Structure 1
Amino acid sequence: MRISTFRRACLASASLAFCAVPAVAQTGSDVEDTVRKLETVAVTATRREESTLDIPASVTVLAGEIAEEASTLDGAEGVTQYLTGVEAAVANGSQVAFQIRGIGAVDHQALTPTAAAIYSDGVFLSTNVQTSLFLYDLARAEVLKGPQGTLYGRNVSSGAINFISTRPGQDQEGYIRASYGNFNRIDLSGAGGAALTDRLSYRIAGRYLSQDPALDNVQTDPAIPRGPDAAGGKRDEFGLRGQLLYEAPGGSTLLLRAHYEEDNGINTTPRNDSLSVGDHEISSEGLGLKDTDNEFYGLALEGETEIGAWSLYSLSALEGYGQDYGFDFDGTPAPFGNPNLNANLSYDRSFLQLSQEVRAAREFDRARVLVGGHLAFEDFSQDYLIWCGQLDPQTLAGTCPYVGTAGRVGPDPVSPLTAVSLLTHIGQERTTAALFTYNDFDLSDRLTLTLGARYTYEDIEGSGYGQHIFTDGTRGLNNRDGLGGAVGQNELEENKFTGNAALRYALSPDTSIYASVANGYKSGGFNGEVQNNATSWQDEGLFGAETVTSYEVGFKTARGNFAFNAAAFYQDYDAPQARIFVSFDLPDGSQITSNSLSNLDEAESYGVEADTRWSPLEGLDLTASVTWLETEIEQTSNTAGNAALFDGNPLPFAPELSATLGIRQEWQLADNRRAAIQANAKAKSEYYLDAEGLDARRQDGYATVDASATLYLDTRGLEISLWGRNLTDEDVAISGYGFIGYNTFRSDPRQYGIAAKLSF
């Protein structure tokens, strides 16, 4: 069988299961030429364009048909359907923590970035609020597994994911797509552009998505009327991106990019484990429901030029967001059977991030050298409110006492009235500076040595307070256990040296083996949740940085219509960050769970992964991938008063086995008419939702299937598709937290619909 250059380019990807493209025949001797064109694949995982065969690390590229499918996902977390060894915990609607090879704190506070650094068009997204990107007009996504402390800096202890938009150009394609599905799902998207001059071009892309509640809000307490349907979550989002590209004589380019997105839906209510409900059901009285008012925005200027033998690159960026949303925190209409013990939560946040990165690269006879620098400044502010019953918007007092308030009043209350609500404010400023270098040295025609290093300096300043609010609106500082008022400030300074070293040996032009060692770290910081007392701002109330050192050997090959990649890895995980849930007594003798981000002693992660792609017949693409993963926490110190609670447990969101299987079959029906079916399945074994390893916080293994059938009318540029997601209708926990009982956010049920796309 003869295959196109682009398909062969996809076969060069380190995980080719995910680069589906239509079958296109070649003629003549083009096939022989195609083999060496592997080296021109535009993969920028190492900050320069090269084939993934030449990268001594695990790199997965989602491109082609899969990138197009990803552009219709609800959020960036959906790409894990195509990946093994990569999972995502989703909380509070838009906060996503990615885990790669088991590494990554499962945390719901916005100040916590994920251990897998998320980039959008090369711009680092600093908080987990930003990581659930609203995807549209996606060209590809590059997934790097293992620590990436050289080129990607902080918060890359598990890896990095870069989502890359389609760029403007002199000759570019445009499209309009409309889709309708169950739950009254309306998904509209489009992109297009043109050349304004022979040097200047633009591209505009946008998307609108709305969907009615996907989970059923049912009655579980006859004494309380069934809550509103909206507790099952509503989507109402849109995004717009504009790009302007100038291509100067001599190859220099300047790209200006701006984006704006809004989320105006309603966050889904979690499910409390004390409830007796069916699949895809929750139960809430609805008092905590609040219309979401989230906005995300950004502006970036990217430039490339040549000065002598050096290639220079600059990326200046601004990213920010504002958030105002809430939900039913306890996930039940009547905790302990008492509706006066419910809890509702809301956040009011703002964030601004400025960054500048410059790089210089040069090729010598037997070496490729890159040096660079990075500067960033971040400003974060958050008000976090918990209340019970109806909320007075002026005083912020609820109509019943929130169960955790009384225990935080302390020995000297400022009012004789009842404390009913908790308000926590935190502000944080972070300054980061880094210098780095990444270099390849050809020791022979077949053997290449890679060496990289990065020095990072961080200064983190935090301040805030925790208050309890009485029925008349009077406020006092929290003082749980009489340890002093919850107000203060602190500063963290961190200096980290990270790097990597690797050897790659080319067995042939299309096959290589490698061995590598790399490390990375994830920053420490301040807990952004309830401030209990003065210790919250003392050093012992903070969490420290975590580090990961990885050792990996791998094999990569892409020959003709077949590609195969495999890697074995061992990761030494020091001071893992984990959300610790601790029960404490209330004045009435009952208990409530408090939680904060802390550091465990250490952990390890090791395993084997492999993926393959095979096109045995014209128009048929088969893909498969598998990851076997073992993780274990090693805890000897008495964190949270019970070392045995964590020691020997697996890391959260780290299934021992995960596998994908994909198929795409395309038929030529007539000269200008084609049809295709495509299906992708992912199965995973059981995993735990947090580090405590309790059976009640375990998600059983399951499998999900996404599929589509498409008719292509090539003469008109029209595609008509039937699509389905989660066709197995699995109801699974996508994250969880301890509070009054244990609460989990749930996956959407089976979705299906029809779509039409017009390309021009």
Structure 2
Amino acid sequence: MIVSHRSPILTLLISFSLSCSGPASAFNKPDELVVTATRRAQRLEDIPASVNVITGARLNAAETLNGAEDATRYLSGVEAAVANGSQIAFQIRGIGAVDHQALTPTAAAVYADGVFLATNVQTSLFLYDLDRIEVLKGPQGTLYGRNASSGAINFLTARPSQDQHSYLRASYGRFDRIDLAGAVGTVLTDRLSARIAGRYLSEEPTLDNVQSDPAIPRGPEDAGGVRDEFGLRASLLYELDDDAALLLRGHYEEDNGVNATPLNDSLDLGKHEISSEGDGVQNTDNAFFGASLEGTAQLSRWSLYSLTAFEGYTQDYGFDFDGTPAPFGVPSLNANLHYDRDFRQVSEELRAQTEIGRVNLLIGAHGAWEDFSQDYLIWCGQLDPDTLLGTCPYVGAAGRVGPAPASPGTALSLLTHIEQTRETFALFTHNDIALDERLTLTLGGRYTYENIEGDGYGLHFFDDGAQGFNNRDSLGPAIGENRIEENRFTGNAALRYAFSDETSVYASFSSGYKSGGFNGEVQNNAAHWSDEGLFGAETVKAYELGLKTRAGDDFAFNAALFFQDYNDPQARIFVDFPLPDGGRIISNSLSNLDAAVSYGFDADGSWSPARGLDLAASFTWLATEINQESDAAGNAALFDGNPLPFAPELSGTVSARYEWRLAQQMRAAVQANAKAKSAFYLDAEGLAARRQGAYATLDASATLYLDAVGLELSLWGRNLTDRDVAVSGYGFIGYNTFRSAPLSYGVSAQLSF
């Protein structure tokens, strides 16, 4: 079947057929797909690009997806670094900086219902009432949205329509997990339809906060992380006629939990354990909101599209930064973090498509304005919220105040403030040219302009009430401003040959980039705004050979060989920070390496060998290497020859679902999904202590369908292998890692109507 939605996502929107009646199958099956970027239906074999799609019942199952990072459990060659509890940096084929600051876009462009999400704070979006998730591997920018150096990930929610599915779902599981979700669609007139969807999720701590220092009382349980989230989305679709429609959406989400304390590598703890005295444990108050208006129309031979959007968030959260109750027995080495952020984004996208002879022509424009501000506070011990003073000097304070401090007192806390605005504008085009009945040439290009302006300061608070700017190494007070202005051209070309209606091959080239910017955290001195606080743009040139084939509706297979030339890769660089007493801590910031390469092989397929049995698998072999020239101090030895972070050499997924009928109005199904990956490094330095070993995870469920009443009853389990793994890391006092959740299980019920 061909399902033609007027989706705002300008990528490959794939709709797969389902092998059984009733609720959607949990697996992707081969069938026709819709390319809404060009307003024409195409099959998967006709697309000269690597595309993965997650669709079906598993998207909305209570036991499955919570945040955006969970999508990677179904994808090979795609990973997610989860920092600070809720900031996601996706890596596709090894490309993507593991960055926890919030000022810059991620290497993988992330979209929600067509709207580009400009910071890694937004990319951890709370998932509910999803229709599908699409992943485009490789640089992009000629079809839609913003430029991206590694690919694009698109989250599409269910749309209102004249014939839509409504449901209510409740789930309860281990750690007192309560998950309530639902969506109700209604038809107001023969042209007007509406949909309201929502979700509430709460969960008690999944990590155990233990006593690792007998001299310090055990800290609060909440240090193990608390979930308390809800979201609400409303949409209204007005269909003027067959070729014109307006879709208005609005959403609001809150995260009111507690971010889990990281694990310091100096502690000898058990699985799923952390240790914190509790000074840095803070309640989270995060809110995300936005609205968009999507319009489609037909003007003569041209199909027109417009997407106007507003997105914003406020954040108030923090955590125990050092990850220990008393670092190395010295309480004054304690450090806690707090972030206070505010962000607004306004964007507009226009595009037009037509066919002229053998050419399918797309032209488009995208513009956006962003405003970001952040206060970043570091303190030691207990915090006085009025004076912002801790009860001891945070580690590093004495080194940053400089040789001539603003006060004879003791510097206790550090506040770093930054404000940034970003203006972007782009023109793009994407064109398919039919050279003959079997051979198609694709040509695309994108011109991008960016203007980034920032200003800020680093300010210490002293115990005598004085305040003073940082001035490490006497290079000038840490206050300043700067501007970055860039113009870039990127593009793509592909040649596809169809051996038959079922099989095609292609060769492609694409280029993309991720812009440079400012580091938004500690500002040591005036050099932050002219040197050490800046990083440049990264660029990627990608080459790919691909094969796509299918056999009817029961089998599909795709494979691709790829090589990516990665220039000026952005990476978190960790450097020793000397302390006046002769000690050292680790400071880090986003910077550029010289170059890297990423190459390998992707394959994925789906097969339905028998009625009710659906199988799917994917596999990626990936090789990455950093190429770094030595500087005068010989620092290249830290990076040269190392693999890129979060780039396992081998990764693969296997999914299986079997459904059978118990009675005329009763069915049952069991399904499982596993992902395995080889070892990988958490950052670019390639140190053994910062290496996550190979592991595999398994999720499974069993469901009973009572079709007469539209009821589903399920038993489910996640991380059945109970693996405790690092989901990101950073250096400070030793090395800290944020940890994965342990095994969880529960029951759920869903009523469809």
Range class of TM-score, shorter chain: over 0.9
- The separation in 1 between residues aligned to 2:16 and 2:85, in whole angstroms, is 29
Query: Relative to structure 1, is the Cα distance of residues 135 and 45 closer, same or farther in structure 2, using a 3 angstrom cutoff?
Result: farther
Q: Which moves more between the two structures, 218-227 or 153-162?
A: 153-162
2:200 to 208, 214, 218: 208
Query: Relative to structure 1, is the Cα distance of residues 749 and 670 closer, same or farther in structure 2, using a 3 angstrom cutoff?
Result: same
Q: 1:259 corresponds to which letter in structure 2?
A: H
Residues 1:265 and 2:265 aligned together: no
Aligned to 1:242: 234
Query: Relative to structure 1, is the Cα distance of residues 433 and 119 closer, same or farther in structure 2, using a 3 angstrom cutoff?
Result: same
Alpha-carbon shift at residue 341 of structure 1 (Å): 1.5
Aligned to 1:701: 694
Residues 1:393 and 2:390 aligned together: no
- Offset from partner CA, 1:178-217 (integer Å, 9 cap, x none): 0000000000000011110111110000000000000000
Give yes or no for contact 2:116–2:146 (8 Å, CA) kept in 1: no
- The separation in 1 between residues aligned to 2:617 and 2:375, in whole angstroms, is 46
Q: 1:149 corresponds to which letter in structure 2?
A: G
2:217 to 218, 221, 225: 225
Aligned to 1:29: none
Aligned to 1:683: 676
Aligned to 1:32: none
Query: Relative to structure 1, is the Cα distance of residues 614 and 173 closer, same or farther in structure 2, using a 3 angstrom cutoff?
Result: same
**Helix, strand or coil for the counterpart of 2:53?**
strand
Q: 1:108 corresponds to which letter in structure 2?
A: H
Alpha-carbon shift at residue 623 of structure 1 (Å): 1.2
Alpha-carbon shift at residue 154 of structure 1 (Å): 4.2
- The separation in 1 between residues aligned to 2:450 and 2:305, in whole angstroms, is 23
Residues 1:635 and 2:628 aligned together: yes
Residues 1:598 and 2:591 aligned together: yes
Give yes or no for contact 1:421–1:469 (8 Å, CA) kept in 2: yes
**Helix, strand or coil for the counterpart of 1:126?**
coil
Aligned to 1:550: 542
Residues 1:405 and 2:397 aligned together: yes
2:20 to 20, 23, 43: 23
Give yes or no for contact 1:395–1:472 (8 Å, CA) kept in 2: no
Give yes or no for contact 1:305–1:313 (8 Å, CA) kept in 2: yes
Residues 1:420 and 2:401 aligned together: no
1:456 to 448, 452, 455: 448
**Helix, strand or coil for the counterpart of 1:389?**
coil
**Helix, strand or coil for the counterpart of 1:340?**
helix
Aligned to 1:483: 475
- The separation in 2 between residues aligned to 1:523 and 1:529, in whole angstroms, is 18
Residues 1:746 and 2:739 aligned together: yes
- The separation in 1 between residues aligned to 2:263 and 2:188, in whole angstroms, is 53
Aligned to 1:336: 328
- The separation in 1 between residues aligned to 2:13 and 2:80, in whole angstroms, is 19
1:350 to 342, 345, 351: 342
Residues 1:282 and 2:274 aligned together: yes
1:656 to 627, 649, 660: 649
Q: 1:536 corresponds to which letter in structure 2?
A: H
Q: 2:478 corresponds to which letter in structure 1?
A: A
- The separation in 2 between residues aligned to 1:341 and 1:192, in whole angstroms, is 53
Alpha-carbon shift at residue 475 of structure 1 (Å): 1.0
Give yes or no for contact 2:13–2:34 (8 Å, CA) kept in 1: no
1:317 to 306, 309, 312: 309
- Offset from partner CA, 1:441-497 (integer Å, 9 cap, x none): 000001110000000000000000001111133210000111110000000001010
**Percent pairwise identity:** 71
Alpha-carbon shift at residue 540 of structure 1 (Å): 4.8
Kindly report which structure 2 residues correspond to 1:506-655, keeping only aligned pairs within 5 A, or say none: 506-560=498-552, 561-638=554-631, 642-655=635-648
2:154 to 142, 162, 181: 162
Instruction: Provide the alpha-carbon RMSD of the alignment.
Output: 1.9
Aligned to 1:435: 427
2:84 to 82, 89, 92: 92
Residues 1:142 and 2:134 aligned together: yes
Residues 1:62 and 2:54 aligned together: yes
**Helix, strand or coil for the counterpart of 2:159?**
coil
- Offset from partner CA, 1:349-407 (integer Å, 9 cap, x none): 00000000000000233121000111100000000000000111111110001011110
Aligned to 1:10: none
Alpha-carbon shift at residue 66 of structure 1 (Å): 3.2
- The separation in 1 between residues aligned to 2:223 and 2:56, in whole angstroms, is 37
Alpha-carbon shift at residue 412 of structure 1 (Å): 1.6
Alpha-carbon shift at residue 51 of structure 1 (Å): 2.6
**Helix, strand or coil for the counterpart of 1:558?**
strand
Residues 1:192 and 2:198 aligned together: no
Q: 2:301 corresponds to which letter in structure 1?
A: A
Query: Relative to structure 1, is the Cα distance of residues 209 and 49 closer, same or farther in structure 2, using a 3 angstrom cutoff?
Result: farther
**Helix, strand or coil for the counterpart of 1:53?**
helix
Aligned to 1:725: 718
2:704 to 694, 711, 719: 711
Alpha-carbon shift at residue 612 of structure 1 (Å): 1.3
**Helix, strand or coil for the counterpart of 2:123?**
coil
- The separation in 2 between residues aligned to 1:400 and 1:539, in whole angstroms, is 31
**Helix, strand or coil for the counterpart of 1:225?**
coil
Query: Relative to structure 1, is the Cα distance of residues 437 and 238 closer, same or farther in structure 2, using a 3 angstrom cutoff?
Result: same
TM-score for the superposition, normalised by structure 2:
0.96
- The separation in 2 between residues aligned to 1:342 and 1:574, in whole angstroms, is 38
Give yes or no for contact 1:453–1:499 (8 Å, CA) kept in 2: yes
How many residue pairs are counted as aligned between the two chains? 739
- The separation in 1 between residues aligned to 2:62 and 2:310, in whole angstroms, is 25
Aligned to 2:7: none
Aligned to 2:490: 498
- Offset from partner CA, 1:311-364 (integer Å, 9 cap, x none): 000000000000000110000001121122100000000000000000000023
Alpha-carbon shift at residue 152 of structure 1 (Å): 4.1
- In the alignment, structure 2 segments of 5+ residues that lack a partner are 4-10, 23-28
1:379 to 371, 390, 402: 371
Alpha-carbon shift at residue 70 of structure 1 (Å): 8.4
Q: Which moves more between the two structures, 574-583 or 145-154?
A: 145-154
Q: Which moves more between the two structures, 383-392 or 634-643?
A: 634-643
Kindly report which structure 2 residues correspond to 1:1-40, keeping only aligned pairs within 5 A, or say none: 21-24=18-21, 38-39=31-32
Give yes or no for contact 2:62–2:748 (8 Å, CA) kept in 1: no
Alpha-carbon shift at residue 609 of structure 1 (Å): 1.0
**Helix, strand or coil for the counterpart of 2:473?**
helix
Query: Relative to structure 1, is the Cα distance of residues 60 and 678 closer, same or farther in structure 2, using a 3 angstrom cutoff?
Result: same
Alpha-carbon shift at residue 156 of structure 1 (Å): 1.1
**Helix, strand or coil for the counterpart of 2:122?**
coil
Q: 1:316 corresponds to which letter in structure 2?
A: T
**Helix, strand or coil for the counterpart of 2:603?**
strand
**Helix, strand or coil for the counterpart of 1:412?**
coil
Query: Relative to structure 1, is the Cα distance of residues 634 and 45 closer, same or farther in structure 2, using a 3 angstrom cutoff?
Result: farther
Give yes or no for contact 1:15–1:60 (8 Å, CA) kept in 2: no
Give yes or no for contact 2:194–2:235 (8 Å, CA) kept in 1: yes
- The separation in 2 between residues aligned to 1:211 and 1:67, in whole angstroms, is 20
2:749 to 729, 738, 756: 756
**Helix, strand or coil for the counterpart of 1:399?**
coil
Q: 1:610 corresponds to which letter in structure 2?
A: A
**Helix, strand or coil for the counterpart of 1:312?**
strand
